[in-house]
Structure 1
Amino acid sequence: MGIHGIVEGKKQWRAHMARVKALPPDYQVVYKEMQKYFFKVGPVGLADGTLLTGVLDFFEAGAADGTRVLALVGHDIAAFCDDLVKDSPTYAEIHQESLRTEGGASGQD
């Protein structure tokens, strides 16, 4: 990725975070907790930006309807996050699989 890509990525991230800051305070808190969780878990889909953008779109629609954020996601935010990425591989899983494959291959030599 060149300088142009980095600058463009930062612009997109700032615009994304400006949308987050426009949400009601309770939505912002839940969004930031979800963001931390996803950064820790590392779903592969996080890198392309669609996961967090989708969550933000969902939250904006809920806020516009006047729905409380916990009515959307429930009280177990981690479980909600897990459900969103249940069919997506994580970087940790990919790494573990590569270690198993490398370990299995070297054990057969």
Structure 2
Amino acid sequence: MSEADKTGGIIARVIGPKKRWRAYKARVKELPGSHRTAVEAIERYLMHFVPTDGDSNASMFDDLADLFEQAVADDTPIRDIVGEDPVEFADTFAENYSDGGYVPARARKQLTEDIDRAAGDATGTT
């Protein structure tokens, strides 16, 4: 097996089929800025869970996009989606798709800061 085949297999295991991943990323790109920032922060955090198959991960990210697209359509603020504890939200969300995984404290802190920024909670800016 070539190195490219090995890398492609790892990528598929982490994010699912490339076509599906690209479609998800295109959907996220269409979200308004703050909602897109929140989804990207949650996405980075969820990458630590890496379910054992790409289909589980692809479904998880598709559902995340669905959730935020619906929130935009309903004019739902980010805090109404993720609550006051984005780590708890992301952990609970991921539990539906995997047996869990180790998430470093740094990743938890980064997610909280990113959501604060996206929701306009940090330094009074959006």
Counterpart code for 1:47: G
Residues 27, 59 of structure 1: alpha-carbon distance in 2 compared, 3 angstrom cutoff: same
TM-score w.r.t. the length of structure 2 is 0.58
Aligned residue in 2 for 1:75: 84
More helix, by proportion:
1
Aligned residue in 1 for 2:51: 44
Cα RMSD (Å): 2.6
> How many equivalent residue pairs?
87
Calculate percent identity across the aligned residue pairs: 29
Residues 67, 47 of structure 1: alpha-carbon distance in 2 compared, 3 angstrom cutoff: same
Aligned residue in 2 for 1:100: none
Counterpart code for 1:65: D
Aligned residue in 2 for 1:21: 29
Q: 1: CA distance between counterparts of 2:29 and 2:71?
A: 15
Computing the radius of gyration from Cα coordinates, the structure with the larger value is 1
Aligned residue in 1 for 2:99: 89
Note the residue ranges of structure 2 that are not aligned, 5 or more in a row. 103-126
Deviation track 1:31-84 (CA, whole Å, cap 9, x = no partner) reads 1111111112x2427721111111110110110011112211113211101111
Note the residue ranges of structure 1 that are not aligned, 5 or more in a row. 93-109
Runs of 4+ in 1 over 3 A off after TM superposition: none
